[in-house]
Chains A and B, each alone.
Chain A
Amino acid sequence: MKYVLEIENVSKFFHGLVAIDDLTIRVKPGQIYGIIGPNGAGKTTLFNCVTGIYTPEKGTIKYKGEDITGMEPHKIAQRGVLRTFQNIRLFKEMSVAENIMAGCHTKSKQKWYHSIIHTSFYKKDELKHWKKVEELMEFFGLSQFAATATADLPYGVQRKVEMARALAADPELLILDEPAAGLNENETIELTRIIRKIKEMGLGIMMIEHDMDMVMSLTDYITVINFGKEISQGLPDFVQDDPKVIEAYIGSDDDEEDE
């Protein structure tokens, strides 16, 4: 398998306005692929197309060679494409452990009748996945918050819970939408370390991020988009010095920092 994700000439319009214009992106397993660009460039729209929340009007999206264009979000997730959200979507009133357990949904083999009668199969299945939740909480340093409602946790911890939840589904493609947004410097450093460790697991990671230090230190390859169009792509060092990228960012850089 050469690519875990192939986005081929994808375009998305909203009421005739172009949100994404003819984008082609290919992500390899074990690679961190950065998507950067000014606000409103269409980055999140692209992620929503990949995860099935939107259906692109043109082009195809292939996951491990299978065409997933326009497939329902839950089917795409069941195949192993998991994501986090820019503005954090956790099950707020529920505890950290319960939130991470949501990621085990596709892995659990329980049938409908196991919700009425708890058989020995049920018990094994349930324990297996709670153990996995335990491991993930240890990996992310969340064990002490196991029973805490996620709404009561600091932003940085919530980000980790969201990532742990996605990882619980054993994804082969992990999509991170601005993982460092709203984090302080220390939290960002810790998150960078965690993402590096996740990369070692061998999955493909696609990431939108505005924190340039983080992008430059983490990503293996970058596509820069502006107004839905690709304006540059390449290795971080190349993209950083590309005059087209610098031009796109001048004047808008400050706004980005506020986000």
Chain B
Amino acid sequence: MDLNLMASSLPKLLSAAFITLKLLSASLIIGLFIGLLFAILRLSKNSIINRFAYAYSYVFRGTPLLVQIFIIYYGLGQIEYFRSTFLWVVFKEPYWCAIIAFALNTGAYTSEILRSAFQTIKPGIIEAGKSLGISNKIIFYKIQIPVAIRQSLPAYGNEIILMMKGTSLASTVTLMDITGVAKHIVSTTYKPLEIFITAGGIYLFMTFLIHNLIKYLEKKYSFQ
């Protein structure tokens, strides 16, 4: 074990952690909106809309994230027409491709988490709202959504951690996140054990922080 190398590679890896965090937060924010939208579509009584939402979550949950990134980054660029549209400005950047892939992926999982949360809301809460004469729209936005989000916090916390681990795949499309930088350092120093263990330690620390943040939020917004 080369402890000096571990210490000297730490600053480089830590600055790469910012890219990991940027990828994570951007994809989580977009993914949350996608997830909420598709959870609502899943609850729709229209069977076409319902099936469309189910197919989306099935496809994105049933295929590896790596395939999804590769289709978006390598695959879409192949379509001649697509390259001439304004969307190409976004899709030619590996950074945005990674975020789009991550957001679509986490959106699929989030939609499942939120759907089950919506379905397990106690009917009494909604009935109480109705008997107070609150309109359906306000019941939905002010009662159902906040309660669903609170109920899905533990599962969503797991999803955040899974997504954080997923961001390491950004290194396969040339992005220099923690894993990307670690691999680069290994290719120049030939010390895989030291570097990958240091990188793993940073990831572990981030997992620990996210875990505790979710625990804190669960306590803060507990029903009791």
Are chains A and B native binding partners rather than an unrelated pairing?
no
A interface residues (Cβ-Cβ under 8 A, vs B): none
B interface residues (Cβ-Cβ under 8 A, vs A): none
